[in-house]
Structure formats: structure tokens, C-alpha cells
Amino acid sequence: MQLLEGKTGLIIGIANERSYAWHIAKSLREQGAKCAFSHLPGDRNEHRVRRSLKEMGIAEPWMRPLDAGKDEELDAFFAAYENDHDRLDFIVHSIAFADRDLLQVGKFITTPRAQYLSAIDISAYTLLAMAQRGRAQMARGGGGSIISMSYYGAEKVVPGYNVMGVAKAALECTNRYLASELGPDKIRVNCISGGYLRTLASSAVGGTDTMPDVVAAKAPLRRNVEGADVGKTAVYLLSDLASGVTGETIYVDCGISILGG
Ligand SMILES: NC(=O)c1ccc[n+]([C@@H]2O[C@H](COP(=O)([O-])OP(=O)(O)OC[C@H]3O[C@@H](n4cnc5c(N)ncnc54)[C@H](O)[C@@H]3O)[C@@H](O)[C@H]2O)c1
């Protein structure tokens, strides 16, 4: 018996085969889940995501364009999903955005209002926006599970993470308030705080070049996190194994965040 047999849901945030969302989707499918996908609007983005899904063995994915910063696109995306699927058991929110010029060491002080707000909008508010639109279908099916991706920079200062740290703090707090309000509908909401993984998004953050070496030398597990580590925690959170877990932020970072120095 696979842990996610019979479960169907949405993966938001694959850019390519290095994305955390890609690794999560792979792990979910290995446990029997059916996944539907988004891609950023544009032919090149669609092509990249399609190619990465082919690599996972998915020749004809259910996939629609989505700029999560636009309410009308979110409405259309969730309506299309609901039209084509009987159930929504899970949502994987694995998206973030901030201007890379602001993600450089010493540049937090330069953050303009508009970029501060847009980082929070795309990286945190969209979790609420997706939960809003998915709630009714999830509740009709007897409940569900929503996860999002955070990082240690939400809690402590990581030089260069800057406005993204502010956005991740908002994401983790949004996670808790959603968990509180959606619990009565049997919808669980949790965050995974992932370790550093080289992806398109993380390569925009300045000062990370030495991070893998530091983690390999100092983390309790003496290695960097792999996509599959996060994928397996996603399986747990989206499965009945985590039936009593909601509102949490679970660290999957080989233990680096427990160290004081
Ligand atoms: N890579 C890391 O080290 C790391 C560590 C902890 C947490 N995270 C988080 O994991 C999540 C996934 O990032 P990743 O590292 O896999 O990088 P990634 O670049 O592969 O994924 C980021 C995704 O966000 C999507 N996105 C950006 N703006 C969007 C918008 N307006 N609408 C819809 N989608 C949008 C991109 O299309 C992309 O697919 C992010 O929340 C990131 O902050 C990453």
C-alpha cells in the first residue's frame, strides 16, 4: 500500500528538474499520488517544465499557466483544476520571488517599498490566495493538506537573504493562521524549512557560494540537504502519517539550524 494512493493535488512551483517542487512531485508520485502542475506564463517556461516532467516519466501532464501574483489567473487556474478533477487532496506551494539586486549582502537597507511588498505578495500572500481557492473542493472531499517552503532566514539573519527573510517570516505566520482557520474543515497546513539547495531561486541570493562547504563541514549530518530529503518530508506531511500535525514549520536541513555557532 502506497502512502498517497488515491490522493490528487496541485504542485505549484516547478521551474526545472532542480526545483524543490520537482523533487517533491517525484516523491509524491512514488507514493501513488496524482499531480497536476502550473508553469509561469510563456512558451519557454512551459517548455522547461514540460521537459522536466518528461524526465520524471510524465508525458502528458495536466499543466496550466499561472502568475500567482494575479487574482484573475489564480481564479482561472483553480477553476480549471476543479473542472477537470474530482478531488483536491493537497496543494504544494513552492514559489518565491524577490528582485535579485536586493538579495545581496548589505543591500537590505536599500529595499524600496514596492519591492518589499511584491516579495511578500508573491512569496507569502499567494499561500493564502491558493488556500482560499482550494478550500471548498478540499473540504468537500473530507479535508486535505497544504504545504509551503520556507528557509531559516525567516527566523535568523542570513546575510544576503534580506527581504526574502521578511517574506518567509510572513509565510510561516500565514501558515499558522491558515492552519487555525482551516483545521475545522480537516485541512492541515504546514511549512517545510528546507536547507540550501542550488536552484534558480537560490542562485539569486548573494553570499551563498561557500554555504555548501560550511554545511558539509558543520551540519550534524555532515552533508547538504538533497531534494529527496524534502520530498520525503512532503510525503509525510501530505499523508495520513501526519494526521495530527498542523501549523508547524519542520526543518529539513541536515540539522544546520540547531547550531548556535
Ligand atoms: N533552494 C533553496 O535553497 C531553498 C531553501 C529553502 C526554501 N526554498 C524555497 O523553496 C521554494 C522553491 O524554490 P526553489 O529553490 O525550488 O527555486 P525554483 O527557482 O526552482 O522555484 C521557484 C519557483 O517560483 C516560481 N514563481 C516565481 N514567481 C512566481 C509567480 N508570480 N507565480 C507563480 N510562480 C512563481 C518560479 O516559476 C519557480 O518555479 C521557494 O519558496 C524557495 O524560497 C528554497
Alpha-carbon span 117 to 81, nearest angstrom = 28
Q: Which long-range contacts (CB under 8 A, 24 or more apart) does 56-61 make?
A: 56/17, 56/22, 56/25, 56/26, 56/29, 57/29, 58/29, 61/35, 61/36, 61/37
Q: What is the dihedral of CA 155, 160, 162, 163, to 10 degrees?
A: -120
C-alpha angle with apex 63: 136 to 231, nearest 5 degrees?
A: 80
Per DSSP bridges, beta strands 187-194 and 34-39 are unpaired
Asked whether the predicted pLDDT for residue 261 surpasses 90, the reply is no
Domains and CATH numbers, the chain: 8-258 (3.40.50.720)
Alpha-carbon span 130 to 68, nearest angstrom = 9
pLDDT digits (tens, 9 = 90+) for 6-51: 999 999 999 999 999 999 999 999 999 999 999 999 999 999 999 9
**Buried b or exposed e, range 82-117, using 16+ CB within 10 angstroms:** beebebbbbbbbbbbbbbeebbbeebbeebeeebbe
Distance from the alpha carbon of residue 52 to the mean position of ligand 1, in angstroms = 15
pLDDT digits (tens, 9 = 90+) for 44-90: 999 999 999 999 999 999 999 999 999 999 999 999 999 999 999 99
The reply to whether 151 belongs to the active site is: yes
Per-residue pLDDT band for 115 (boundaries 50, 70, 90) equals very high
What pLDDT was estimated at residue 253? 98
pLDDT digits (tens, 9 = 90+) for 103-113: 999 999 999 99
pTM: 0.98
Contact 8, 87 (CB under 8 A): yes
Ligand 1 pocket, residues with Cβ under 6 angstroms: 13-15, 19-21, 40, 66-69, 94-97, 122, 149-151, 194, 196-197, 199-202
What pLDDT was estimated at residue 62? 98
pLDDT digits (tens, 9 = 90+) for 124-172: 999 999 999 999 999 999 999 999 999 999 999 999 999 999 999 999 9
Pocket test for ligand 1, best of 40, 115, 254 (most atoms within 8 A of CB): 40
What pLDDT was estimated at residue 1? 80
Distance from the alpha carbon of residue 96 to the mean position of ligand 1, in angstroms = 5
pLDDT digits (tens, 9 = 90+) for 181-200: 999 999 999 999 999 999 99
Q: Which atom of ligand 1 is nearest to the CA of 67?
A: 32
What pLDDT was estimated at residue 102? 97
Alpha-carbon span 213 to 216, nearest angstrom = 5
Phi, psi of 178 (to 5 degrees): -65, -45
